[in-house]
Amino acid sequence: MTSGHGMMTASAGAPPHDWLVNTGGSIGIAMPLAVGAAVACPSRRVLCLSADGSGMYTQQTLWSMAREGLNVTTVIFANRSYGVLKREFFLFGNRGSGTTGSELI
Ligand SMILES: Cc1ncc(C[n+]2csc(CCOP(=O)(O)OP(=O)(O)O)c2C)c(N)n1
């Protein structure tokens, strides 16, 4: 939610690839989406990027990836936080004392 924003820019010069992303606001789709991509296209490597909180919704998918031997590498952005909520609080001006926002995420 808050850690992956730089990924599109960072991968702009990478070899040809496709992005499959959350199309709405419902979190937890990354790992199931990666399983679907890997099953549909076994010849292609899948890089799965998930936040830690979002990933907890569907963490059993890690078992499916392993059991099926899927060509998926999963990276968890582990900020150990509900970062987007803290960012929204910050943007609303609820900064608390001595915070700048960056340490909230
Ligand atoms: C299915 C579902 N449940 C709850 C929410 C509300 N929600 C939005 S972001 C979020 C968690 C954010 O934590 P994380 O995924 O770790 O990302 P971060 O904000 O820390 O980058 C939740 C529970 C949602 N969007 N979708």
Q: State the pLDDT confidence band at 92, using cuts at 50, 70 and 90.
A: confident
Residues with CB under 6 A from ligand 1: 1-3, 25-28, 51-54, 79, 81-84
**How many domains does one find in the chain?**
1
Q: How far is CA 95 from the centre of its chain?
A: 26
Q: State the pLDDT confidence band at 5, using cuts at 50, 70 and 90.
A: confident
- Going from the Cα of 13 to the center of ligand 1, the distance in angstroms, rounded, reads 29
Q: Give me the domain span that covers residue 79.
A: 27-104
| CA–CA dist 29, 90 (Å, integer) | 27
Q: Mutation test of ligand 1: which of 54, 76, 88 has the most ligand atoms closer than 8 Å to its C-beta?
A: 54
User: From the CB of residue 81, how many other CB atoms can be counted at a distance below 10 Å?
Assistant: 17
Angle CA(62)–CA(85)–CA(51) in degrees, nearest 5? Answer: 20
Atom of ligand 1 nearest to the CA of 50: 15
Residue 96 lies in a domain: yes
Atom of ligand 1 nearest to the CA of 25: 25
Residue 81 lies in a domain: yes
Residue 12 has pLDDT above 60, yes or no: yes
Taking a C-beta distance cutoff of 8 angstroms, is the pair 51, 27 a contact?
Answer: yes
**Neighbouring-strand partners of residue 75:** 49
Give the CATH number, domain containing residue 54. Answer: 3.40.50.970
Tens-place pLDDT, residues 42-70: 999 999 999 999 999 999 999 999 999 99
Choose from 18-27, 40-49, 85-94 the range with maximum mean pLDDT: 40-49
